[in-house]
Amino acid sequence: MIAGPGWRTPIGSRRRARHTGHRPHDGTEEFSLKPTRVWSPYLLIAPAVAIFAFVVLIPMLANTLLSFTSWSGTDTLRFAGLENFFRAFRDDIYLRAYLNTFAYIGLTLIVEVLVGLLLAGLVTMAGRKTGFYRVAFFVPVTLPMIAIAVLWGFVYSDDIGLINSALRAIGLNELARVWLGDPATALIAVSIVSGWIYAGFYMAIFYAALQRIPQNLVDAARLDGAGQWRIFFSVKVPIIRPIIEIAVLLCVTGGFQSFDLFYVMTNGGPDHATEIITTYLVQVVFVYRDLGYGAALSTIMTVVLIALGLFMVKMRAKSGGERIEY
């Protein structure tokens, strides 16, 4: 069937309308994705902004206002001014919790990010068994955190623990100890568990980034006589540097949010050796029932996190981390 002129009239009218600025006179309307009102984009994002304000902004504002008060949750709310903040800087346990948190972050940068990067390199060299190793390394991320904490509590046990039993079996009785009960080893022991969990998570991130590297770069390095690990550290790692910087940012912010692993395994002990900011906050609010002071502590932590995040983003922007050039 041959199409008559009527088939082409609407299209032709719309083309003329685009060039002349006039609407077609054939009764058809030109379809456009451009908003017809200035406030249309704001209406589209309004639901998301409302949810964000309800879930994040309003609680943050309420917490900030509460930090200027003295309240246990049952007595009369009393305005305290800046006393809670001055008290925080005189609180030795709170200051030690910051030191422990930063020490924990430093350890997790090694056992999570660095180990995850090395695992990603191993997986890329695994050949046909790549899928198996990716699943095996990622499985700990999918397990419940409480179950992992209880499991590793048995591993670190003094009497029936796997580590002490192995040390005694090979005649190294003097090295056996209560790993979670010794202030010198408790924080390291918890950090190792954290690395066992999240190294697979960072491995997945780095593996995905490594897969984007053009094969011709790897082939060129191989022609120059470079081995697999030399190619990995000298060619692949510099290319995925922006991804590594993102992983470091995730690890640092995640270190401030850690709680369940410490709460189940050590609960801040022994002698506050594993006391981090979140465990101390829970103790202040739910054990001591000092809500005003707890709100002040969380406000300080929020300010520190925002400042640290902005600093890291700024440093990443200065280093040209927004681009990946091949």
- Per the structure block, which two tokens stand in for 227? 């081995």
Given a contact cutoff of 8 angstroms between Cβ atoms, the answer to whether 119 and 203 are in contact is: yes
Cα–Cα dist 83/218, whole Å: 60
31-45, 79-93, 125-139: range with highest mean pLDDT: 79-93
* Residue 2: per-residue pLDDT: 45
What are the φ and ψ backbone dihedral angles of 187, each rounded to 5 degrees? -65, -40
Q: What is the pLDDT of residues 204-221, one digit of tens each?
A: 999 999 999 999 999 999
320 vs 318, more confident? 318
275 exposed, middle or buried (CB, 10 Å; 0-12, 13-18, 19+)?
A: buried
Least confident of 78-87, 120-129, 223-232, 311-320: 311-320
Residue 104: pLDDT band with limits 50, 70, 90: very high
Task: Enumerate residues 6+ apart whose C-beta is below 8 A from 101.
Answer: 255, 256, 276, 277
Provide the strand spans (E) within the chain: 69-70, 78-79
- The mean pLDDT of 292-299, rounded to a whole number, is 95
Mean pLDDT (the chain) is 87
Reported pTM: 0.84
Q: What is the pLDDT of residues 5-51, one digit of tens each?
A: 444 444 444 444 444 445 555 555 555 556 567 788 888 899 999 99
* Residue 324: per-residue pLDDT: 52
Given a contact cutoff of 8 angstroms between Cβ atoms, the answer to whether 155 and 242 are in contact is: no
Cα–Cα dist 268/325, whole Å: 45
Residue with token string 């410490």: 262
Q: What is the pLDDT of residues 219-275, one digit of tens each?
A: 999 998 888 999 999 999 999 999 999 999 999 999 999 999 999 999 999 999 999
Cα–Cα dist 284/295, whole Å: 10
The CATH number, out of the four listed (3.30.2320.80, 1.20.1440.130, 3.40.190.80, 1.10.3720.10), of the domain defined by the range 100-274: 1.10.3720.10
Please give the span between the terminal C-alpha atoms of the chain, in angstroms, as a whole number: 53
| DSSP annotation string for 201-239 | HHHHHHHHHHHTS-HHHHHHHHHTT--HHHHIIIIIHHH
Cα–Cα dist 187/269, whole Å: 9
* Residue 42: per-residue pLDDT: 86
Whether pLDDT at 300 is above 70: yes
Q: What is the pLDDT of residues 114-123, one digit of tens each?
A: 999 999 999 9
* Residue 15: per-residue pLDDT: 47
**Of 210, 195, 204, residue with least CA distance to 131:** 204
Using a pLDDT cut of 90, give the percent of the chain over it.
71
Whether pLDDT at 188 is above 60: yes
Cα 23 → chain centroid: 52
Residue with token string 């005649």: 171
Given a contact cutoff of 8 angstroms between Cβ atoms, the answer to whether 326 and 214 are in contact is: yes
Given a contact cutoff of 8 angstroms between Cβ atoms, the answer to whether 161 and 176 are in contact is: no
